[in-house]
Amino acid sequence: MKASLMAVLQDDPNWADALPLVMMGMRASFKADLGRSAAELVFGEALRLPGQFFDKTTDVPQSQFAKNLQRVVASLRPAQTAWHQSASGRPVFMSPHMRTATHVFVRVDAHRSPLQPPYKGPYKILERGPKSFLLETEGGPDAVSVYRLKPAFLLAHDLEADRHGRSPLPTSSGRMIRRPTRGQTENLGGGGVVTS
């Protein structure tokens, strides 16, 4: 819309006066992926543009008009939606590492603050299905759609700590704490990166 307004407003800087014309142009323009304009999708027919109001009309007998209308309506087919799968009919891309991963990150689909990370995890995969994976989360086992998952590539010592589990440590006040495993750099030799 901004580009359209800038094209119309080369001489006149008052964008509020040009907005109706730009909006009509956007709604009446043909969308190649939909095969129709936005107005045709909403109203079922094309918008009548200002130059089309005064066209010459030819009288067509009602019986002929009804036959033409019936023929056109019979030939109508719904437009195929473009967002269910790719044009080739293949499913949407999924990382090949998802078949062998032991841990995954889960995309947060809720509204996030600007500094909140887009993924939670990593979570251990308990069971794989064609459309969802059963994950071990903080709240217990949870089934999550594969479209929200991303394979986690963990270091070998992170996997060892996960397998053995770290016992919580008591503080001087008696509370139990668990030391973080991220950001520690001790004994990284020989561990390397594991594609989990």
Q: Determine the pLDDT at residue 184.
A: 45
Residue closest to 151 by CA, chosen among 110, 191, 193, 94: 94
Q: For the segment 89-106, what is each residue's pLDDT rounded down to a tens digit?
A: 666 677 888 888 899 999
What is residue 156's three-state secondary structure? helix
Q: Determine the pLDDT at residue 144.
A: 93
User: Which parts of 29-145 fold into alpha helices (H)?
Assistant: 38-43, 62-75
Whole-Å CA distances, 79 to 65, 90, 149 = 25, 19, 31
Q: Determine the pLDDT at residue 89.
A: 61
Residue closest to 40 by CA, chosen among 74, 7, 78: 78
Query: Which residues, including other chains, have CB under 8 Å from residue 25's CB and lie 6 or more apart?
Result: 4
Q: Determine the pLDDT at residue 33.
A: 85
Q: Determine the pLDDT at residue 60.
A: 66
Q: Determine the pLDDT at residue 192.
A: 44
HSE (CB half, 13 Å, CA atoms) of 8?
18
Q: Determine the pLDDT at residue 107.
A: 93
Q: Determine the pLDDT at residue 191.
A: 43
* Positions in the chain whose pLDDT score sits under 50: 183-196
Q: What is the chain's alpha carbon radius of gyration, rounded to the nearest angstrom?
A: 30
Residue matched to tokens 């580009």: 3
What is residue 134's three-state secondary structure? strand
Q: Determine the pLDDT at residue 190.
A: 41
Q: Determine the pLDDT at residue 150.
A: 92
Q: Determine the pLDDT at residue 185.
A: 42
Measured between alpha carbons, how far is 121 from 107 in angstroms, rounded to an integer? 9
User: What domains are defined for the chain?
Assistant: 1-52 (no CATH), 96-167+188-194 (2.30.30.140)
Both tokens of residue 30? 């043909």
